Each structure stands twice: as structure tokens, then as C-alpha cells.
Structure 1
Amino acid sequence: MNKRLYDIEQRVTKEHKDLTKFVKHVFDEYDKKAEEHRLLMASNALAGIKTSGTEEKAFYDTINETKRWVLDVLERTIQDFEHTGDKNWNRNFRDGVDE
């Protein structure tokens, strides 16, 4: 996912770099929460509290799916910015990206 974000960041014009910076910050927060969760589960395991493997898988799958979803929305937004003024372009978002 980091490579995909890097590729998107290379396509973005300087005036829209704040979009990719925002997504990086969101991803950093997800990673921080996942690390906190991992440490909590490790301390629970040391205390003898068992956690369900399916719940752990669901937790990490949800984080990864959300990251993919955010990247998809960013990609479509950047496509709309790239095609601003193109009369043959069908916008990804009805309200467009015009400010």
C-alpha cells in the first residue's frame, strides 16, 4: 500500500500534495492503533487471557480494507483533478473537485 500511495503522490500536482499528506497521516494512525492492539493482545496473552483468532483476523482485515478504500477514494479524486476541464471526462464524484 505504501508503494501505491507513493505512486499516487508522484502524480499529484504540488497544490494537491496536502491530500496525500493527509492520507499518510491517517495510515500512520492506523498503524499506531494496530501496534497498540498488538501490544495489548500480547499482554493479555501473558496474563492468560485468550483471544479469538477470528477476531484478530477480522481486526487486521478491517484495517487493511479501510486503507485500500481510502486509497481508492484518493485515486479517484486525483483522477478528477487530473481531468479538470476535460469535457469528455465522466467525473468520479457528482459534486466534482472544483473549489
Structure 2
Amino acid sequence: MNERMALLERRLIEQQHKDLFLQTAHTLKAINELAEHHRLLTAMHAINGYRIVGSEEVLFYETLSQVKEQIVQILEKTVCDLEHKGDKHYEKHFNDGVE
């Protein structure tokens, strides 16, 4: 995912849309911070004797991964729409526009 984000950053900087990249990077960082907070909370609960359900933990982290993947895919589609702005033969991902 880091490689994809670096590529998207280069493409967006060329189009003077670095703000879109930064917003996405900040969102992904917030999700990572949420996961870290959850990990610490789960560790504290385990130390205090609470039973941790492994399948629920797996589901939580898989869901976060899917959310992050969706966010990056939306950014990729947005970049494609920006790159093809004005091309009447291009089928847009977002009919309401990207600007």
C-alpha cells in the first residue's frame, strides 16, 4: 500500500492536487492510530484477566484493512478522473465530478 500511495502522491503533485493526497494520508494515519489504541486497550484488558476473543480481533483488523483499501481505491479513481478531465470518451468513476 505504501508503494501505491507514493505513486499516487507523485501523480497528484503533478496536477497540483497534493491536498487530496494529504487528506487521504491523514485518514489512513488516523485509522492506524485507532488500531494501535485498540491493541493497547486489548493488551490492558488481557493483563487484567479479561478474556480476549481472537476471532473478534481478527475481524476488527481485517475490517480496518478493508476500509484502508477502499480509501486508497477511491483516491486512485479520483486521480484517474482528474487525469482524464475534459476527455469526452472517458467514462468517469464519479459522475458528480472530482473538483
Question: TM tier, shorter chain?
Answer: over 0.9
Q: Percent identity?
A: 41
Aligned residue pair count: 98
Residues 50-94 of structure 1: per-residue CA shift (max 9 Å, x gap): 111111011101110000000111000100000011111111111
Flag structure 2 segments of 5+ consecutive residues without an equivalent.
Answer: none
Using the alignment, how far apart are the partners of 2:89 and 2:59 within structure 1?
A: 41
Q: What secondary structure sits across from 1:96 in the alignment? A: coil
What residue number does 1:6 align with? 6
Q: Which residues in structure 2 correspond to 1:1-99 (within 5 Å)? A: 1-12=1-12, 13-97=14-98, 99=99
Mean alpha-carbon deviation: is it higher for 7-16 or for 84-93? Answer: 7-16
Displacement of 1:14 after TM fit? 4.7
Q: TM-score, normalised by structure 1?
A: 0.93
Flag structure 1 segments of 5+ consecutive residues without an equivalent.
Answer: none
**What RMSD, in angstroms, separates the aligned Cα atoms of the two structures?**
1.0
Counterpart of 1:96, as a letter, is G
Using the alignment, how far apart are the partners of 2:3 and 2:48 within structure 1?
A: 38
Counterpart of 1:54, as a letter, is S
Task: Flag as ranges the 4+ runs of structure 1 deviating above 3 A.
Answer: none
Counterpart of 1:25, as a letter, is H
Counterpart of 2:36, as a letter, is E
Q: TM-score, normalised by structure 2?
A: 0.93
Using the alignment, how far apart are the partners of 1:26 and 1:35 within structure 2?
A: 14
